[in-house]
Structure 1
Amino acid sequence: MKINLTLLLSLLLCVQLSAQNHVFVETESFGDKGGWVIDQQSYAVMGSSYIMAHGMGRPVKDASTTVKFPKPGKYRMWVRTKDWAPFPKGPGKFQVLIDGKATNQVFGESGSDEWKWYDGGDVDIRGTEAKLALKDLTGFNGRCDAILFTNTPKFTPPNKPEELTTFRKKQLNLTDKPKEAGQFDLVVVGGGIAGTCNAISASRMGLKVALIQDRPVLGGNNSSEIRVHLMGDIDKNHYPKLGRIVREMDNGDPGNGNPDAKEYGDARKLAIVRAESNISLFLNTYVYKVEKEQDIITAVVGRDIATNQEIRFSGSFFSDCTGDGTVGFLAGADFRMGRESKAETGESLAGDKSDDFTLGTSNLWASLERDTVSSFPETPWAIQFSDEYHIDKDKADWEWETGFGNFNTITQAEQIRDHNLRAIYGNWSYLKNQKKAKYAKRELAWVAYIGGKRESRRLMGDHVLNQMDIQEGKFYPDGTVTATWTIDLHFPDPKNSKYFEGQEFFAGTKHIKVAPYTIPYRCLYSKNIQNLFMAGRNISTTHVAFGSTRVMRTCGMMGEVVGFAAYLTKKYKTTPRGIYQDHLPELMAIIKGESAPAQP
């Protein structure tokens, strides 16, 4: 027994020393990102953000940080990365530098498009601190998730998602309770146009609001990161006072993919929100966890995409403005994703069978005319173009789109973006090298590295808006937001399909005109989660109806309505459904501007 006890104590000591002798570095937490950028759009799959060298073909400045070690000595280095375009080897090459000296291996060219740990060999750490840097070698989107140093013999870091998440949280000391943000009347998750308008509306009704956004800017698809213009009419509104906050957010119409970032009004949007004394704004925070009691959400937990600080938001009511329906999904809300069949909905525009087809994701881009001739490298790893098929344009518009049921817009967001990048870089390389007379002095000036999504989950409410509601102009008693956009359902461009069947990246559409119609309030709250509102492209519609409701001015007005409704839920201590059942006249009076509500 004594021998066994000694052996057990020795094993426990080894485990403890092993934990102490790991030095785990999340790259998104680097003190100086240099020219590397943070990408969080695959957080739901990876459990983490990562950084990427988005130089559009020009190597970016090193990312660097200072790392503390328990003691000097020899450590085994592991680097978590991938080859994003392995055809057969991709362009995302980078090196790891320690105290200015490059380690032996070049990463990002493995020929494998799976995220995993790569053995970087033994490195000598001469003190208790070292400067760690990532050196981009190409400018073509090399990426790195984390770096691990260990002096535990024969230790290999885990690759399986569940094991890696547990290991990551342990190394980051995230096992303790997250920081408390406080108690809010309304927690709005998602800082696009819908969520921002939602937060402002609720704030001006006197509610204490948390607005949580997973990027450093507000506006979502209308931000400088994605650069999609606002669509949908406000001046045809059945309720002329609805849409006032949308007008405040509106920075004019710079078009899609304008190379001038300032045209999208990031600073203006932030200034408007920060002027609201009732709003607590949390940027760079990805909500990944929901706490609930039966069918009532009590809190959500988010993690800072750069620092990994976790924070908990308690609330009376929650509004899912994420686009992906993330909060609803985590809470167990009923949802749909893909297309319904004619038999399910009775819609003439629905398909004969239901399927997983969704509208795709766009990464816009633009070039600019310069004074001098510039070059662009050949891109054998990208999509290949020819005289027979190429896209002879100097900037992108909405048609640059990948998805169409070939990819899942949530779980394969990174692959969708990367497919778009391969199309952009491949086409631009063709234009620069084969059409020099036209493009010699044009330079690729901007490419979106964050995808602009159109469709993913739709959370189900007490009413599911459909084609007949829209085309017949049904006016329900709870008809609120006036929508005017056409039924606009994208599909792969036939010529693009001919050359890239199953891998399309260019879209077509057929606009089916509609008369102004109203979206029922019952589409703006969950049918089975008592205290969950939603606004934006993830509201309760069929796929066909979604083709009309999804544009951003319309989504912004949804946010305004939810802010009014949230005020009433607090006033009467009821639920979103309770407002429809018992207090609809008061909600409609507020929307019409007929009443000036007392502060709750």
Structure 2
Amino acid sequence: MKRRSFFKKGVQGAVAASIIPLSGCSSNTSGNQKKEGNPEQWQDLGSGKKGNPNRDKELHVDVLIAGGGVAGCCAAVSAARNGAKTILVQDRPVLGGNGSSEIRVHLNGVTHLKNGKAERETGVVEEILLENRFQNPQQSWHVWDHVIYDYVASTPNLKVMLNTQALQANMKGGKIESVDCLQYNTETTFKIYAQQFIDCSGDGLMAATAGALYRTGREGKAEFNEKYAPDEPDGWQMGSTIMFSTKDMGKPMPFEPPHYAIPFDAEKAAENDRKIKQFTQGYWWIEVGSENDIIAEADEIRQRLMGHLYGIWDYIKNSGKHPESENFALDWVASIPGRRESRRFMGDHILIEGDLLSYRHFEDAVGYGGWSLDEHNPGGIENLSDPPSFFHEKFTKVYEIPFGSLYSVNIPNLLFAGRNISVSHIALSSTRLQGTCATMGQAVGTAAAICIKKEISPRELRQNHINELQEQLLRDDAYIPNRPAKDSNDLAKKASMIFASSTSSGDAKLLTNGYSRDVQERDEINHWQSVSLPADVILEWEAPQNISKIEIKCDTNTLKNIMMRHTPGKKEKFIETVPPELTKSLYVEARVNGAWVKVGEVIKNRRRLIKFSFDSVRATAVKVVLTETYGVEVGRLYEVRCYA
């Protein structure tokens, strides 16, 4: 593997030299440029008018988000919910990115730790996954696309623009002023003005054209003292994978490979963990990386991947080594590879291997991860001498992701979420998982909205208002390790008494301790669970309180994963139905002038975070009554909040 020339300047020089803005791409122009051509080229027979249609438009919002993968969807929903007028542009006809029907990567996050248990992400990404359990029990990938779209596009204050590429950032005073976008299917160009910009696109074209500093390739051991980094820095990036699925047709299905199929060396492949153990749902190791410009090589890589895929299927069908495949045929083959790595933009903090393995605590923590250090080998399937991934090390608990890694070090109104954040190559091998990226997305969307309200930059937010960001994330059901909620506006924390009608586990008083899940690594219980249903919890105050909002976090069993899967998972780790622990129906009452008054009710709840808003009442107590779940015979709550 060749060393990249921009890494040859020593430890200090490597940081500067490997950070490559796109030169000559920034623009200070504004407004629509006048187009040349015959103004009467088009004759509209319907209206009788001649001329050309105006397909140049301007839009003005608070927040523009580029990239509609899971991170971008979570960022857009969070920004809009927190009061920012938001646009999400996605260059594909569906949302979901690598997790969509076009690519079909499992929406993994902290799917399992070293102890084998999950630590599933909550907040916006869990709401999407729960909606899928209700709307898509058949687990159709194409329906999944539309579940995501319905969830995101129905969010007030949010506009979704599909088939739209953010092409060029326009700068003014060192900040992004607007972005030129092209919507392919309408032949329309949009100049979108915003105050805050978030790049969740993975490759980060919008951020790169703004001149945001970034790097590609692998750091050497010396730069960050990373034991799993190569001895010397180089240009290798983890590869892209192409997936397939097959179907038993009930009769012999012959197969002839296309002309571009690349023969598969099954014997050599098997020596390093590329065995044909099943052939129904493809192989993540049909992967090709790059030591150069992986973005510019994308189409060439796609062609090579197609060749490798059909070569493998030709081996399965025609080598005689897998007679069990006789009745099977390819049912679906992806046309778009799922990419793991390209640009990594630099922030005020570069998250590195040591931060993760030492479980470093960050005062500005806003997200978390826990997937293993899963560095795929350089070259992918074209490097059969090494295993497909090194799986360097698993984590015993989750690690923290700091806000300082989620905004640009040199563009003051630019944030990131996803695989393009400020991390080293080795750290990226874990943080790139979609569930982990979702925690970043919710964090930066919320942060952008706060920046709009306060008229500050993300850096100022980190320096002076990080507590406000963390508190809002926790209120919105995100999880931040080692950071309990301390919201001084939460009246529930001021209750003089908290008690329950029955208790089989936990304690009702735990509902206000600031932790809204049980913490595995400390064997810490943070819930109250009843003996049976119906059951209730009562919070009392010595003096009447003005209350107009009650927010409740119930149970969805975060130890089990609920994402879309190609095949049924292990029962101890995955569940393919609505979590039976989820509260289905409940109501809340307030004690006003000595009498209980119902102030809210939900009959078919679909979320862990349940919110009630009502006309303000002056109450001395609040009662939460659980009446039914989706299967279990007990009720469990993790948090109750009350607000004026």
Question: What are the superposed Cα offsets for residues 216-256 of structure 1, whole Å, 9 maximum, x if unpaired?
Answer: 111101100000011113899xxx997310102226999xx
Q: Which residue of 2 aligns with 1:19?
A: none
Question: What are the superposed Cα offsets for residues 311-347 of structure 1, whole Å, 9 maximum, x if unpaired?
Answer: 1211011000000122111110010111011222121
Q: What is the TM-score normalised by the length of structure 2?
A: 0.60
Q: Which residue of 2 aligns with 1:544?
A: 426
- AA partner of residue 458 (structure 1): R
* Distance change >3 Å, CA 241–CA 347, structure 1 → 2: closer
Q: Which residue of 1 aligns with 2:351?
A: 465
1:232 is matched with which residue: 109, 131, 135?
109
* Distance change >3 Å, CA 544–CA 298, structure 1 → 2: same
Q: What is the TM-score normalised by the length of structure 1?
A: 0.64
2:202 is matched with which residue: 320, 323, 341?
323
Map 1:342-381; keep pairs closer than 5 Å: 342-381=221-260
Root-mean-square deviation (Å)? 3.3
Map 1:427-576; keep pairs closer than 5 Å: 427-435=312-320, 437-491=323-377, 497-498=383-384, 507-514=388-395, 515-576=397-458
In the alignment, the residues of structure 2 paired with residue 310 and residue 493 of structure 1 have an alpha-carbon distance, to the nearest angstrom, of 38
- AA partner of residue 268 (structure 1): V
In the alignment, the residues of structure 2 paired with residue 250 and residue 493 of structure 1 have an alpha-carbon distance, to the nearest angstrom, of 33
User: Does 2:66 align with 1:185?
Assistant: no
Map 1:255-334; keep pairs closer than 5 Å: 261-262=140-141, 265-334=144-213
Question: What are the superposed Cα offsets for residues 549-587 of structure 1, whole Å, 9 maximum, x if unpaired?
Answer: 110111011011112211211121110101011212211
Decide whether the 8 Å contact of 2:65 with 2:199 is kept in 1. Answer: yes
Decide whether the 8 Å contact of 2:100 with 2:144 is kept in 1. Answer: yes
* Distance change >3 Å, CA 348–CA 389, structure 1 → 2: closer
Give 1:362 deviation, angstroms.
Answer: 0.6
- Quick check: 288-297 or 536-545, which moved more? 288-297
SS at match of 2:234: coil
* Distance change >3 Å, CA 569–CA 450, structure 1 → 2: same
In the alignment, the residues of structure 2 paired with residue 575 and residue 362 of structure 1 have an alpha-carbon distance, to the nearest angstrom, of 37
Decide whether the 8 Å contact of 1:230 with 1:250 is kept in 2. Answer: no
Question: What are the superposed Cα offsets for residues 169-204 of structure 1, whole Å, 9 maximum, x if unpaired?
Answer: xxxx89x88312x21111000000000000000111
In the alignment, the residues of structure 2 paired with residue 441 and residue 307 of structure 1 have an alpha-carbon distance, to the nearest angstrom, of 43
* Distance change >3 Å, CA 508–CA 477, structure 1 → 2: closer
1:215 is matched with which residue: 86, 89, 92?
92
Give 1:468 deviation, angstroms.
Answer: 1.1
SS at match of 1:306: helix
Give 1:521 deviation, angstroms.
Answer: 0.5
- AA partner of residue 222 (structure 1): G
Task: Write out the 4+ residue segments of structure 1 that deviate beyond 4 Å after TM superposition.
Answer: 251-254, 386-391, 492-496, 594-598
Decide whether the 8 Å contact of 1:336 with 1:460 is kept in 2. Answer: yes
* Distance change >3 Å, CA 582–CA 475, structure 1 → 2: same
* Distance change >3 Å, CA 465–CA 264, structure 1 → 2: farther
- AA partner of residue 230 (structure 1): L
* Distance change >3 Å, CA 418–CA 582, structure 1 → 2: same
In the alignment, the residues of structure 2 paired with residue 557 and residue 291 of structure 1 have an alpha-carbon distance, to the nearest angstrom, of 29
Give 1:511 deviation, angstroms.
Answer: 4.2
In the alignment, the residues of structure 2 paired with residue 548 and residue 374 of structure 1 have an alpha-carbon distance, to the nearest angstrom, of 40
- AA partner of residue 223 (structure 2): E
In the alignment, the residues of structure 2 paired with residue 495 and residue 457 of structure 1 have an alpha-carbon distance, to the nearest angstrom, of 22
- AA partner of residue 415 (structure 1): E
Question: What are the superposed Cα offsets for residues 115-152 of structure 1, whole Å, 9 maximum, x if unpaired?
Answer: xxxxxxxxxxxxxxxxxxxxxxxxxxxxxxxxxxxxxx
Q: Which residue of 2 aligns with 1:592?
A: 474
- AA partner of residue 279 (structure 1): L
SS at match of 2:192: strand
In the alignment, the residues of structure 2 paired with residue 386 and residue 474 of structure 1 have an alpha-carbon distance, to the nearest angstrom, of 43
Q: Which residue of 1 aligns with 2:82?
A: 205
Question: What are the superposed Cα offsets for residues 77-125 of structure 1, whole Å, 9 maximum, x if unpaired?
Answer: xxxxxxxxxxxxxxxxxxxxxxxxxxxxxxxxxxxxxxxxxxxxxxxxx
SS at match of 2:63: strand
* Distance change >3 Å, CA 451–CA 349, structure 1 → 2: same
Give 1:400 deviation, angstroms.
Answer: 1.5
In the alignment, the residues of structure 1 paired with residue 102 and residue 468 of structure 2 have an alpha-carbon distance, to the nearest angstrom, of 39
In the alignment, the residues of structure 2 paired with residue 288 and residue 303 of structure 1 have an alpha-carbon distance, to the nearest angstrom, of 7
In the alignment, the residues of structure 2 paired with residue 479 and residue 429 of structure 1 have an alpha-carbon distance, to the nearest angstrom, of 49
Give 1:485 deviation, angstroms.
Answer: 1.1
Decide whether the 8 Å contact of 1:193 with 1:249 is kept in 2. Answer: no
Q: Which residue of 2 aligns with 1:248?
A: 127
* Distance change >3 Å, CA 234–CA 564, structure 1 → 2: farther
2:303 is matched with which residue: 412, 418, 421?
418
- AA partner of residue 458 (structure 2): P
In the alignment, the residues of structure 1 paired with residue 339 and residue 317 of structure 2 have an alpha-carbon distance, to the nearest angstrom, of 29
Q: Which residue of 2 aligns with 1:83?
A: none
- AA partner of residue 394 (structure 2): K
Question: What are the superposed Cα offsets for residues 401-433 of structure 1, whole Å, 9 maximum, x if unpaired?
Answer: 11142x632111111111110011122223323
Question: What are the superposed Cα offsets for residues 437-462 of structure 1, whole Å, 9 maximum, x if unpaired?
Answer: 33221111111101101000001000
In the alignment, the residues of structure 2 paired with residue 343 and residue 387 of structure 1 have an alpha-carbon distance, to the nearest angstrom, of 37
* Distance change >3 Å, CA 241–CA 563, structure 1 → 2: farther
In the alignment, the residues of structure 2 paired with residue 334 and residue 377 of structure 1 have an alpha-carbon distance, to the nearest angstrom, of 48
- AA partner of residue 382 (structure 1): A
- AA partner of residue 244 (structure 1): G
Give 1:483 deviation, angstroms.
Answer: 1.2
SS at match of 1:487: coil
Aligned residues between the structures: 418
Q: Which residue of 1 aligns with 2:465?
A: 583
- AA partner of residue 304 (structure 1): Q
Q: Which residue of 2 aligns with 1:154?
A: none
Structure 1: tracts of 5 or more residues without a match: 1-43, 45-69, 71-172
In the alignment, the residues of structure 2 paired with residue 251 and residue 277 of structure 1 have an alpha-carbon distance, to the nearest angstrom, of 20
In the alignment, the residues of structure 1 paired with residue 81 and residue 223 of structure 2 have an alpha-carbon distance, to the nearest angstrom, of 41
In the alignment, the residues of structure 2 paired with residue 242 and residue 363 of structure 1 have an alpha-carbon distance, to the nearest angstrom, of 26
Give 1:379 deviation, angstroms.
Answer: 3.6
Decide whether the 8 Å contact of 1:493 with 1:507 is kept in 2. Answer: no
Map 1:380-391; keep pairs closer than 5 Å: 380-385=259-264, 388=267
SS at match of 1:559: helix
Decide whether the 8 Å contact of 1:462 with 1:527 is kept in 2. Answer: yes
Q: Which residue of 2 aligns with 1:100?
A: none
SS at match of 1:360: strand
In the alignment, the residues of structure 2 paired with residue 229 and residue 242 of structure 1 have an alpha-carbon distance, to the nearest angstrom, of 14
SS at match of 1:354: coil
In the alignment, the residues of structure 1 paired with residue 466 and residue 195 of structure 2 have an alpha-carbon distance, to the nearest angstrom, of 20
Give 1:372 deviation, angstroms.
Answer: 2.3
Decide whether the 8 Å contact of 1:227 with 1:264 is kept in 2. Answer: no
SS at match of 1:398: coil
User: Does 2:278 align with 1:399?
Assistant: no
* Distance change >3 Å, CA 402–CA 234, structure 1 → 2: closer
Give 1:380 deviation, angstroms.
Answer: 4.4
